Amino acid sequence: MASLPYADVDSSLRALAGRAEGFGRLSVGGLHGPVYCVSTLADDGPGSLREGCRRKEPLWIVFEVSGVICLSSYLSVSSYKTIDGRGQRIKLTGKGLRLKECEHIIICNLEFEGGRGHDVDGIQIKPNSRHIWIDRCSLRDYDDGLIDITRQSTDITISRCYFTRHDKTMLIGADPSHIGDRCIRVTIHHCFFDGTRQRHPRVRFGKVHLYNNYTRNWGIYAVCASVEAQAADLEEAKTGVVRSEGDSFLNGAQACSVTGVGEECVFHPSKFYPTWTMEAPSDSLKNVLQICTGWQSICRPAEQTVIS
């Protein structure tokens, strides 16, 4: 594999902004704000992650500490924020992030593990949130989902993330009665689903583009599309419509054929964005995805103008 998508973005701190592929490509996060340094692992208070996320102005949030932040409640993220874990190793546990009625969020290089409680997701995106990029995060072992995208949230990219030790991994569109979710548009690429049981993702309504993902040792099913879902490069349909192209099915995995519908019923990503970085399925690609997804031990690029 010659290179991963956006391989150059670690050369400078803010080079991430606007570099997502797919539906979340317009997200700039906290590009136009100062840097906010997280200096404590406390759940709240001065210098905490929660304090930075609640501020209304754009911020590029970085970490001066490594360790575990135990969240006693969902951590709500306001608009125009980048939560950038490069340079440190931060694990969120207890609860997760909530992206509610916000826009332009980038979440990069964090770990999520051990979320407990009813309806507790690692990253919960609802309602009416848009222009979101989740990149190089590791997620496992939450009581509900790892990433849920519902209630008219749209224009989202999930890239190079690692999912493991979980049952209902990713839900897109929560309920057949929520017809407003027809607006949902999500791109999922270069992710590694490692022994997660189902929902890679489960889709209701909306449009989802998947490419160059590796799903290993799934339990019930890999991908499910239903209730008006339009999915490109998926494998199952029941009242949804699916196009699968160039996928590699191994060890008995099978694609469910779609009959009685025309290709014109399924969207093509080129109608929404001009390019994306895709390779044919191969052992080389599998090996790269096992190494280069999830949290990465990488340095944080230098940046001037710091506030705390």
Residues carrying an active site annotation: 199
Pairing status of strand 35-38 against strand 103-108:
unpaired
User: Which three-class secondary structure state does DSSP give residue 291?
Assistant: helix
**CA–CA separation, 27 and 135 (whole Å):** 12
User: Which three-class secondary structure state does DSSP give residue 185?
Assistant: strand
User: Which three-class secondary structure state does DSSP give residue 263?
Assistant: helix
User: Which three-class secondary structure state does DSSP give residue 289?
Assistant: helix
Q: Are 9 and 29 in contact (CB under 8 A)?
A: no
Q: How many CB atoms lie under 10 A from the CB of residue 103?
A: 18
Counts for the chain of helices (H) and strands (E), in that order: 2, 26
Q: What are phi and psi of 289, to 5 degrees?
A: -65, -30
